[in-house]
Amino acid sequence: MILWLIQKTDFNRNNIQVEKLIKINHLSRRFDIVVYDKNIQPYILIECKAPDIRISQSTFDQIAVYNMTLSAPFLIVTNGLETYCAIMDHKSKSYVFMDEIPVS
């Protein structure tokens, strides 16, 4: 996923952060990847699973909880075989699936 972000998008590699610890409700959690925009604000939150792990609703629920702290407008979940992207509606605390991944 990181290689794809660097090679196929306009994102600066310096704006990609991997496995950073965050606090959610006083609990320590670790996100997989965050892509920051040009203003260094979280833009895409990415959750990576192993290829043998099925992407499910609970996977999206997990990343949505992480995103309550980060407030990224886009979420991506992938296991390398399947990739899903959603745009967040922070007011309603919901997300809508997208056909394409935002590339800039």
- Give the residue extent of every domain in the chain: 1-39
How confident is the model over 32-62, as pLDDT tens digits?
999 999 999 999 999 999 999 999 988 888 8
Higher pLDDT: 82 or 20? It is 82
pTM attached to this predicted model? 0.86
Segment 21-27 shows an average pLDDT of: 81
Confidence of residue 104 (pLDDT cuts 50, 70, 90): low
pLDDT of residue 93: 77
Nearest to 22 by CA among 79, 76, 78, 63: 63
| CB contact set of 46 (below 8 Å; sequence gap of 6+) | 1, 31, 32, 33, 34, 35, 75, 76, 77, 78
pLDDT of residue 41: 94
